[in-house]
Structure 1
Amino acid sequence: MYRMLIVDDEEIITDGLAVIFGKMELELDIYKAYSGREALNLLHRTRVDIVLSDICMPEMDGLELMEHIRRSWPQCKIVFLTGHSDFNYVYQAIQAPGVQYVLKNEGYPKLIEAVMRALQELNDTMQVNDLIRESKEQLNTLETLAQGDYFRHLIHSVKADQDMAGDFVRLNIPLDASRPVLIALGSISDPESSRTYMDRRETALAVKFLSEKLLKERTVSLGVIDRYGDLIWLIQPDGTGEATQPEAWEQMIKFLEGTFELIQQSCRESLEIGIAITLSAEESAWSRLPVVYDKARQVQHYRAGDGERMVQKVQLNEAAVPDTLRDRFLRDKVETLAAHLEAGRKEEFLRLFKEMAEPAGQDPGRCNPYLTELYYTIALMLMSYMNRWEADEETGGSGLMQLESHRTWGEAFRYLRDTAEMLFSVRKSGEQKRAAGVIDRICLYIEENLDQDLSLVRLADVIHFNPSYLSRLFKQERGINLSEYIEELRIRQAKDLLRRGELKVAEVGSLIGYVTPQSFTRVFKKWTGTTPQEYRADVVGG
């Protein structure tokens, strides 16, 4: 879903336009700002796709705001709305790409047409048909394969190579081996599990080329596919000089959050796949790449919900040493089983398990070294996940290491399969429980901070989610929109304070988060059908 920010120093215009566009059946989240400075603050906190702004405002006019937008969100479309007829303003506005200009006296139809045109331009930008074709053409090129192999080697090595800079030059890798790097992990969820290996490979490459097209606006990046079929992005700020400052990394991370949301949206609409993104909140030294990668995979599993609309920003560079023996010593097929279990791909897991366990149905004897090794290798993998997910009680897998308790090989491998199926159920249940827990935390925060900023962006910052995902997750868990829930709580608290009669109406509004008495009165009447003064009079009269 795209986001539109409406900016005007006249509150009645801003609120009126928000109502008009809110009633239209558009895939738009609407945000409001009553000054250029307020708009700039929001733009620094989250991605915005369309800005509908007055061009002539005090303190910061629309043209100055446009320059900030261009630096922060290059893909953002701008529609200037003004009654100002000065030719210089108009001339400067229409010279910039992706900018439209609408006079206030042209009416709502002209304005709606401009917004629809901006939406179409965004959709055209996000189309990936050409990128899919490009990915197929480049699938077998030496450079793409060599870069992927090289970084898989780095990720799974104990220490970084001595001459990384030389390797980068030889492999035409655009990254700087002398500067730290930021890592992002994308786990692709493909509903068409019957697709072949090459189909999945082409899909992953399509996502890679799409992301590199969008990320190049402000970064130097490279996407590679790991051994699980997931995408890893290695990212640095573009340029030199100011780009080496800490502020450059902070600004880049904000840019990445918003851009990866667009990538997720395009994947859903054009490729019909979901992709969960885990984004490091800080840069790392190349030598820590294996540690950071392992932490990213661990964090991605412990996400709330399915994560397909989620960009999860986390601290991956903490001094945690991964258990490198946990799954790297397992044989190739068991590694693939672990990858399917990790990603929740039940059908693929059971299909491969059936293939691997086939010899168990053909050997009635008990002394078979190969089957013994295979059983314990799979059992150790399952036990590892049971311990990590704390699922021993749910799965009843305490007997995994007791091969002698099974009468036949067929019975033993059926026990492993049943344990794995229960682990898949535990995984799904865990996602749902964590989603409910997150929403409970948000509700508690709202109740304790009714007089504070409870905008979607602010609440998303509290739990480190992107705003769109929080909005959908809340509606999914509670059945109502987050904004409706907040207003309902505020109105309930307002009624209680009004009944007590100890505070003036304006003081009541301020205590529950309304900046102006007019805003409080307007919202209260919308919800109750009466003004705060009338409500208090009715209660006292009763």
Structure 2
Amino acid sequence: MYRLLIVDDEEMITDGLYETLAGCELDLDLCKAYSGREALNWLHQTRVDVVLSDIRMPGIDGMQLMSIIKRNWPHCRVIFLTGYSDFDSVYRAIQTPGVQYLLKSEGYPKVIQAVVQAVAELDASLRVNDLVQRAQESLKTLEVLARGEYFRHLLHGANPAPNLVADFRKLSISLDADRPVYVAQGDLSHVSSRASSYANRHESAMAAMLLAESLLNGQVRVLGTIDRFGDPVWFIQPPADRAEGSEAEEGASVLPYLVGQFELIQQACLKNLDLTVAVTLGNCPSEWIRLSSAYDKIRRQRQTRTGDGAQMVQTVSLQASGCAKERSPRDKSDALSVHLDAGRRDEFLLLFDELTESERDGGAPYLLELYYTISLVFLSYINKWELENQVPGVSALMRRDEFASWKEAFGFLRTVATTLFELRSSGESNRAAEAILKVRAYIEEHLDEDLSLVRLAGYIHFNPSYVSRLFKQECGVNLSEYIESARIDRAKELLKNDKLKVLEIGVQVGYEASQSFTRFFKKAMGVTPQEYREASFNHSRSMRDSRLNAHRGDEEDTLRE
């Protein structure tokens, strides 16, 4: 889902454009700002894909805004909408790639057409098959392979050598060894096939890694690798003058930029590679000496994802000390442990069946070792997530002699595996329901405030497009529809109070301008707020009169008797 920001210092124009585009059934997350300064606040918080802006505004005008956008969000499209014949501004605008210009007098159809064109351009920019193919060719060089092995060495527990700068120079690593680095890890799966061979999975991981490098390069320095679990990992540094804490006032901070770009990368992977990619990203840069602990904490956070995690960009707080490193009991259990940790049920069971069936002739000592090796993988997982009371017969994991045959013993282990995956799935669903309950409660308590998708996503610490999809999945309605319904219900209740003015009620449900509240209410109810109030009062008066007449009739009947 792309995000469109409407900017104009005339409130009626901003609201009118918002309502018009909201009614066009375009797959857009709409935001609005009433000044260039307010627009900058949006650009600091989240990725914006299309900006529809006036040129002439007090304070920060449209041209200044365009300059900031092009520096911080190079993929963003800008559409200028103005009533002025400002030749210099128009000339500068049309000379800038990704910028369109419209007169306000051209009307809403032209605006809608321009927005559709901007979205089409964004779609086209994500079609990067050729770019991925060219980048894959460079992956064959020994230099790239050496870099990948070096970073895997650092990720999985090795402390950086004192001569880190010399290592970087020798391996042609473009990152700065003297500055900290952001770490992001991808978790990908095929849309068309849930299970895939190691070669296919590795190829997909490399393609996603290189595609992300292509879309991130330019604004930041980035280098990707594949970890020992087959997942892409990216190391990212902003330019020295954009390092966190030293950026200019108008510059977008690094973390929102990365979250926004990874959303675009997810869309590109889906369109070009038929892959869904979830991304877990450290919320601050990590020192090289702490790289392994930061990476472990990011991997651990993946286990507590909300919902199915597809297309999610999740940030992880790295300020606290890193988590303990995970170690597999034996090398041959590595792949099982990885699939279990990652929630890949089909891949786990396929490998489990191959392993247990192919080794049945290995002799009792080897089968005993295999049984306890797999049992230790399960016990490690059960202890880590405190599941001992939820897995039936867990004590039998270390009691092979309770089973009459190897077939029965390995059948028990397979049942335990199935139980663990079911517990993981139900946990994800429960966390999804809890997250959406928090969003709904927040909406009910803040109907008079900004309830943009960006703000709600920030409240539960996920990216906006994932929250939108998760809300629809859990509630069956779009988030925007739910908010509108909640505001209508609150407004109807408040309109029954004749002590409140319509303007005051509009403010209490999030509409500062009475005209906007009236348009919103009439569109939903077919009558203005005042007409609804009068009809409600008339209905209440009629009901009171009916009850009073009925009461008088009862009294008269009693007297006659």
Would the TM-score normalized by the shorter structure come out above 0.5?
yes
Aligned equivalents of 2:485 and 2:23: distance in 1?
Answer: 20
Q: Aligned partners of 1:136, 1:539: CA distance in 2, in Å?
A: 68
Deviations 1:385-444 (A, max 9, x none): 222333334331332112111111111111111111111111111111111110011111
State the distance in 2 between where 1:140 and 1:225 align.
14
Task: Give the TM-score normalised by structure 2.
Answer: 0.90
Q: In the alignment, what sits opposite 1:346?
A: 345
Q: Secondary structure at the match of 2:398?
A: coil
Q: Which has the larger radius of gyration?
A: 2
Change in CA separation of 1:244 and 1:386 when aligned onto 2, cut-off 3 Å:
closer
Seen in structure 2, the aligned counterparts of structure 1 residues 22 and 506 have a Cα distance that, compared at 3 Å, is: closer
Question: Paired residue for 1:30?
Answer: 30
Counterpart of 2:425 in structure 1 is: 428
- Separation of aligned partners in 1, 2:351 and 2:18: 53
* CA spacing shift, 1:262–1:343, aligned 2, 3 Å: same
Alpha-carbon deviations, 1:350-389, whole Å to 9, x = none?
A: 22112221256446x7xx3222222111111112222233
Bigger mean CA deviation after superposition, 486-495 or 335-344: 486-495
Q: Secondary structure at the match of 1:224?
A: strand
Partners of 1:525 and 1:100 lie apart in 2 by 33
CA distance in 1: counterparts of 2:267 and 2:409, whole angstroms: 44
Contact 2:241 2:247 in 1 (8 A): no
Q: Are 2:519 and 1:522 aligned?
A: yes
Contact persistence 1:524–1:531 (CA under 8 A): yes
Alpha-carbon distance between aligned partners in 2 of 1:107 and 1:507, rounded to the nearest angstrom: 32
Change (3 A) 1:23 1:522: closer
Q: State the 1:241 CA deviation.
A: 4.3
Evaluate the alpha carbon distance shift between residue 311 and residue 347 of structure 1 in structure 2; reply closer, same or farther with a 3 A threshold: same
Residues 345, 321 of structure 1: alpha-carbon distance in 2 compared, 3 angstrom cutoff: closer
User: 1:449-500 deviations in whole A, cap 9, x for unaligned?
Assistant: 2222221111111111111111111111011121222222222222222223
Q: Superposition pairs for residues 85-100 of structure 1, below 5 Å?
A: 85-100=85-100
Letter in 2 for 1:339: V
- Which TM-score applies when normalising by structure 1? 0.93
Structure-2 separation of matches of 1:361 and 1:196:
23
In the alignment, the residues of structure 2 paired with residue 398 and residue 509 of structure 1 have an alpha-carbon distance, to the nearest angstrom, of 62
Structure 2: distance between partners of 1:149 and 1:43: 37
Tell me, what secondary structure is at the counterpart of 1:278?
strand
How many residues are paired up?
535
1:460 pairs with 2:457: yes
Which residue matches 1:205?
206
Provide the aligned C-alpha RMSD in A: 2.1
Structure 1 residue aligned with 2:536:
539
The answer to whether the 8 A contact 2:238-2:254 is kept is yes
Distance 1:132 1:92 in 2: 33
Letter in 1 for 2:375: A
Q: What displacement does 1:508 show?
A: 2.1
CA distance in 2, matches of 1:123, 1:268: 12
Cα 1:412–1:250 shift into 2, 3 Å: farther
Note if contact 1:135-1:202 (Cα within 8 Å) is conserved in structure 2: no
What residue number does 1:389 align with? 385
1:274–1:48: structure 2 CA closer, same or farther, 3 Å change rule? same
Amino acid at match of 1:420: A
Range with greater deviation from structure 2 (153-162 or 173-182): 153-162
- Counterpart CA distance in 2 for 1:447 and 1:419 is 42
Aligned AA (1:374):
L
Question: 1:445–1:113: structure 2 CA closer, same or farther, 3 Å change rule?
Answer: closer
Which whole-Å deviations, capped at 9, do the CAs of 1:332-353 have from their partners, x for residues lacking one?
Answer: 3311011111222222212211
Aligned partner letter, 1:479: G
**Residues 517 and 27 from structure 1, CA distance in 2 versus in 1: closer, same or farther, beyond 3 angstroms?**
closer
Shift of 1:446: 1.5
Does the residue aligned with 1:500 lie in a helix, a strand or coil? coil
Q: SS of 2:253's equivalent? A: helix
Q: What's the secondary structure of 1:392's corresponding residue?
A: coil
Cα offset for 1:55? Answer: 1.5
Identify the residue that residue 312 of structure 2 maps to in structure 1.
310
Distance 1:527 1:118, change over 3 A: closer
Pair 1:270-2:276 in alignment:
no
| More displaced stretch, 492-501 vs 142-151 | 492-501
| Contact persistence 1:83–1:103 (CA under 8 A) | yes
Distance 1:85 1:70, change over 3 A: same
- 1:379 equivalent to 2:375? Answer yes
Q: 1:274 to 1:242 in 2, by over 3 A?
A: closer
Matched, 1:235 2:236: yes
Name stretches of at least 5 consecutive residues in structure 1 with no aligned partner. Answer: none
| Aligned counterparts of 1:222 and 1:45: Cα–Cα separation in 2 | 25
The answer (yes or no) to whether the contact 1:360–1:371 under 8 Å persists in 2 is yes
